[in-house]
Chain A
Amino acid sequence: MLPEVKTANWVRNPIDSFTLAKLEANGLTPAAEADRRTLARRLSLDLIGLPPAPEVVDHFVADTSLDAYEKLVDALMASPRYGEHRARYWLDVARYADTHGLHIDNYYEIWPYRDWVINAFNQNMHFDEFTIEQLAGDLLPNPTQSQLIATGFHRCNITTAEGGTIPEENLANYARDRVETTSWVWLGLTANCAVCHDHKFDPITTKDFYSMSAFFRNTTQEHTDKNIRDTAPVMVLPEGKDLERWKSIPGEITAANAAIAERRKQIVPDFEKWFQATTPAEVSTRIGATLVSLPLNEGSGKEVHGSIAGAEQTLSREQDYQWKPGKAGQGLVVDKGSTLDLGDVADFERTQAFSVSAWVHVTGNGSLISRMDVAKGYRGWDINIKDKEILVYLVNKWPENSILVTTQGAPLRPNDWRHITVTYDGAGKAGGVRISVNGVESKMRVANNTLTDTIRAVTPLRVGQRSTGEFFSGEVQDLQIFTRKLAPIEIQGLMRMPEALLGAAKAVAQRSPRDKTQLSEVYFAGDASAVANSHKLVQLDNEQKGIQARSVVTGIQQERMDTQPMAHILYRGQYDQPRDEVGAAVFSALHPLPKGAPHNRLGLAEWLMDANNPLTARVTINRMWQEVFGAGLVKSAEDFGIMSEPPSHPALLDWLAVEFRESGWDMKHMMRLIVTSATYRQSAALTRDKLERDPQNRLLSRGPRFRMDAEMVRDYALAATGELSPKIGGASVKPYQPEGVWEAVAMPGSNTREYKPDTGESLYRRSIYTFWKRSAPPPAMEAFNAPTRETSCLRRERTDTPIQALVTLNGEQFVEAARVLATHALKAAINEGDSPFDYIARHLLGRSLRPQEIAIVKKSQHDLLERYTAHPDEAKALLAVGDTKLDASLPEPQLAAWTMTCNQLMNLDEVLNK
């Protein structure tokens, strides 16, 4: 099975047989094993992504046992830092980030998924389980919280809430991203060509593409992310007492709903009795504690009638009132020439709960109803219409002592009657004002929330104006005021009132079935038990929302239960050109769905991990290889298709794939195999011969050496200086970043517009925890080829640019780190008599400096000391960089000079390279 090799004693494990055979076939010999210091550093960087502590290196160098190397490997793989390092690669694949990605690009909370990934690697979750939980954890029987969090994988795609976008287009884009990502990650196939046309080179048809997309189109996710952090579906992760309540609230909601339904049945006989005898006057006050009830449906004459403060009253005037068709029957025209004065009523205090309900047809702006004294600093209250919005004023003195809440989204219509309800809980805060339109609570905005004193006003209650001015323009029906907060069920009843009143005015025999329905809704809305439960539902809903708002949440996938996965083939990929409908299906050229697998994401995940699938094991192990060697055995990690470069070691790739599968998809086992091979342990030194014959190290004629990824470059500096925080997991953090990076690109309304760096420990967390705004990724990382995380990235580029040099030379994080390292080095020199050069080199390079190097560094150091001695102001300025407190016991010019020496050495090619 394994290839024959000449120098068999070089072989440490089967990997080496393959690589050595290839080298021998090409007339090359392997490089010598790297020295132990180099190996300790390489292993540490590959396994935990951090440089080794000097003691770790020393211990390894001194360890004469036969398995010293394996012991080091095991120790590193057991470190929780291992999971963080592996997770970082996977988060590129998962396109994980902390904002939605498009347009406003607000904060999006899904970091518990990031922690799940870290934990999965640390627990050595096997790759099949890892796959299934991420793609379909929600479809497993009785999924655990962890399995649900795992489904965040396909909730990491970019989303939008741009106004004007078309829902179908957004949903098509999300599904497309998920098909492409799945296909790259597990199959190494670039399905993206098949969005528009059958793949030119690989056997993927457009039908295949959209059939695959059906798997991902049957979730409850909406087309818009709504610019909120908890874009549904989410998993809420409450803690402590909240967790208990969070678990019991759904049951209480069900119980309250059941009680309402039960009550509805119970009262039928009472209603039937009532129905036979009721009158318009009784109906109009059925919903209790009415302070004012004006049906405003007379339709002619000089009088309107109603109940005001418990008494039947008539409001008459000299000329006829004007009427127009209303919600039901006729409605009263209210405008500058026709407003109503209701007298000294509804003189509410700030602490008085109240509600107002009315049917309106607006043709302009102005006050619907108010008790407001304009001359007295607008003292009082007013429900006002402006540009199709409803404004609720509660004013002591405008504007400094007032509440103003307005609807958003212009819910009123010039051509349509709308039912408005305003409720106020009497708590003196804008949050206690609720506005509903046609029984649905509106989106609201708090414009003022500064009320602290009374709102009682010496002026009559008026319909259609304030004490002066703000004349209403339109028609009104069934205006009611209550001295309490209405429950939703009562609002539903009030909506029916105009029709119910007309119905009640008819003889019983003349009433239509619709009349009866409307009357029954009004009757039910006046039932104390139903109202109590309706209030309870509101309270439970508020409690639930409150818990969600203060808890950590994370985006998950949730299958729709009412529909089967399906999709349309989109002509040329255009969402508005749907063609044939297709069900969920896997790529037709590959193996079929396993027998008995469900036609949903779980089936898809099982298909990917199926024994008949030749691709997943290969593409996965290839990426693992790429992490360690810098390039995969197939260089195009995302593309194993016909247009890809063939593998450098096809038989090795095969062997690894089989080994991976036969190990039960054990990722740690595979990583251990790779790093314990002789191939891996080679020195990275290049000879002229190898440079010519194996310039890219595709033949693996030497050990891996390449510039570290963005996160490693920063983490390296933090670890070498001892600043790195040991904390694992939690919300993303904001370390140093130059000013204005977010501001330059962010939309005005974005909540990720201003970057405010954290303080303390959060400045020194591992880079995997750095907050990632997709439209402005951390600039120091971007400079080092970090992806934007907008789409899945299976292979980072590795370019060398001058901007990178500027980051590590001038970036605040790096300059501060240099000062901290210099401080430690000087302290060690004072306390232990160590050479600062040696201290710095051992922490940065894992070795001591060589004589030639010392000469150069000493010369620099000497010049720097001279400079900073002559320019103490410069020393002071340099040492002020970064939040870490300056060690005042050290002379500033000396510390500054050593800081710049550290800055110099932290920029060594050797430091920046693995």
Chain B
Amino acid sequence: MHPLDARSLYQTRRQFLGRGANVLGFAALASLLGRDPHALALDAAAHPLVPHFAPKAKQVIYLHMVGGPSQMDLFDHKPEMAQWYDKDLPDSIRRGQRLTTMTSGQTRFPIAPSKYKFAKYGQCGMEMNAELLPYLSQCADELCLVRSMNTEAINHEPAITFMQTGNQVTGRPCLGSWVSYGLGSLNQNLPTFVVLVAEPTNREQLQAISGKLWTAGYLPGEHAGVAFRSKGDPILYINNPPGVAMETRRKTLDGLDALNQLNYNALGDPETHTRISQYEMAYRMQASVPELTDFSKEPAGTFELYGAEAKKAGSFANSALLARRLVERGVRFVQIYHNNWDHHSNVSGRLPDQCRDVDQPCYALIQDLKQRGLLDETLIIWGGEFGRTIYSQGGLTTTNYGRDHHPRCFSMWMAGGGTKPGTVYGETDDFSYNIVRDPVPVHDFHATILQLLGFDHRRLSYRYQGLDGRLTGVEEAHVVKALLA
């Protein structure tokens, strides 16, 4: 028995159609009724995809530290905290702010001062960890450090998604896709947007990193990131099947092109030509990727600069070197993920491993790009999805502690690409808990990055589901001018 049979009322076509007239605001329907829906629509002119102003940065290398590095152990020195060891975080600081359910059940929030020494570096006197960053600290004058980043999300999945796409809910385009969409390709044989997932040495507390972070969201699919892999084929399916030499592939492609041309002659579909050109692009990628990933011709100095780890496939150092080679070959956006920064416990056991993985390669990347004259046009971004709490999660001793997620403040740095070198921006309170000066919300950070790339974040948009979608969302965001050179 049909559930609606009893209720179903027969209506004439006229009545059925007539209902549409009562529904205001549906373009597809309104037009049926002879109205011009676009008379009602706001002016939403198509945006030409030429930069809105001269870009400073043409390429980007984004180093995302997955898990959320501890700002007060690395870049945000809080010497006053030494007096506060194992004392409770004052309510006046916490202000009832929400916590994750991992520590919201704790009866105490004892303060864990950083166990590390800090020092000032460079002419700018940038203060940072003096034990774990021996390399990076040497290029303090190249860095543009923000100590007042803050985010809305408190758990990894939404926070990484927010950092990458400007929205906590999955499904929006990520920064790399926006840059691909806005600036397009710089080369003929490699993807525009490449993703590298580096393997951390310490793997105690990994977080999820998934392909959804580099999908194009509502942007056309060609703007999705292409993941390069450290094991197996560098790009999925890039290698010919066993027993198919490049010459063999070339010959079969020649035949294929000729056959497709005949098909075009018969049907005249321009898409057929697109297909021919995509097959040729695929062939060029096949031809160029082996050279790209072959580091054997790199001089010995390269491995002195990046460290011996750079020879180990999949390491962060290896990924950083590959990023430089990608940028050299005209890849627009390189996203590197480095995992295991989620230090709920054992900061002193894990943080040194994390820093050892990234410290020298970050330094090397900056130096290397600078030597090659690429740093001015290449924006390097380093940071996680949120910060960590000053209070200890779990057991606290003077030499070890854990830290929970902290969205209200964290540190990130940039280098090159038109950022202002030797800059320290923003300030947090004595507890590195609240921002006291110059907060930089994620959307402002994104707006600033787009500005460096030549785009007005309000105008870089894409029409989807009736809305002009933007990286910086619907609410107002601001470019942080102090970060620009």
Contact = CB atoms under 8 A, between A and B. Distances in A.
Q: Are A and B genuine complex partners? A: yes
Interface of A: 1, 102-105, 126, 128-129, 132-133, 140, 158, 160, 162-167, 173, 176, 184, 188-190, 192-193, 196-197, 200-203, 415, 576, 589-591, 594, 596-597, 606, 609, 611-615, 618, 634, 636, 638-647, 650-651, 653-654, 657-658, 661-662, 684-688, 691, 705-707, 738-741, 744-748, 774-777, 779-780, 782-783, 785, 788, 790-791, 797, 799-807, 809-812, 815, 850, 852-853, 856-857, 859-860, 863-864, 867, 871, 873-881, 896, 900-901, 903-905, 907-910, 912-913
A790 B211 CA distance: 12
B399 interface: no
A688 B269 CA distance: 10
B187 interface: no
Contacts of B405: 164
9 contacts: A102-B170, A642-B25, A688-B268, A741-B236, A748-B206, A776-B210, A802-B281, A856-B255, A879-B243
A744 B197 contact: yes
B279 A874 contact: no
B20 interface: yes
A614 B260 CA distance: 45
Interface of B: 2-4, 7-11, 13, 15-17, 19-20, 22-32, 37, 40-42, 44, 98, 100-102, 107, 154-157, 169-171, 197, 203, 206-212, 215, 220-222, 226-227, 229, 231-233, 235-245, 247-249, 251-252, 254-256, 258-260, 262-264, 266-272, 274-276, 278-279, 281-282, 285-286, 404-405, 463, 465-467, 474
Nearest to B241: A815
B27 A103 contact: no
Nearest to A788: B212
A297 to B, nearest CB: 28
Query: Max chain B CB contacts within 10 Å: which of A197, A589, A788, A909?
Result: A909
Contacts of A783: 236-237
B222 A810 contact: no
A747 B270 CA distance: 44
Given A684-B267, A909-B275, A910-B263, A188 B28 contact: yes
A392 to B, nearest CB: 24
Given A684-B269, A856-B259, A881 B241 contact: yes
Contact of B251 (A597, A740, A864): A864
Contacts of B274: 800
Given A650-B31, A738-B233, A912-B275, A747 B208 contact: yes
Contacts of B157: 102-103, 160, 162
Contact of B220 (A102, A799, A903): A799
A589 B101 contact: no
A202 B26 contact: yes
A687 B210 contact: no
Contact of A802 (B227, B249, B278): B278
Contacts of A779: 236-237
Contact of A640 (B7, B26, B40): B26
Given A202-B26, A685-B266, A744-B229, A606 B4 contact: yes
Nearest to B284: A802
A415 B267 CA distance: 80
Given A162-B157, A806-B236, 19 more contacts: A129-B4, A162-B156, A165-B101, A197-B474, A613-B19, A615-B23, A641-B466, A642-B26, A643-B467, A647-B31, A686-B269, A740-B229, A746-B208, A747-B206, A805-B281, A867-B248, A875-B243, A907-B256, A909-B275
Contacts of A641: 25-28, 466
| Interface of chain A: mostly helix, strand, loop or mixed | loop
A166 B27 contact: no
B465 A190 contact: yes
A385 to B, nearest CB: 16
B210 A745 contact: yes
Nearest to B395: A387
A642 B207 contact: no
Contact of A614 (B23, B156, B254, B285): B23
B260 A908 contact: yes
A128 B4 contact: yes
A176 B158 CA distance: 15
Contacts of B101: 163-167
Nearest to B265: A852
A900 B248 contact: yes
Query: Max chain B CB contacts within 10 Å: which of A126, A806, A908?
Result: A806
Contacts of A803: 226, 235-237, 282
Contacts of A880: 242-243
A590 B435 CA distance: 46
Contacts of B209: 745
A606 B7 contact: yes
Contacts of A684: 267, 269
A775 B231 CA distance: 19
Contacts of B4: 128-129, 132, 606, 609
Given A614-B23, A644-B466, A747-B207, A650 B102 contact: no
A589 B24 contact: yes
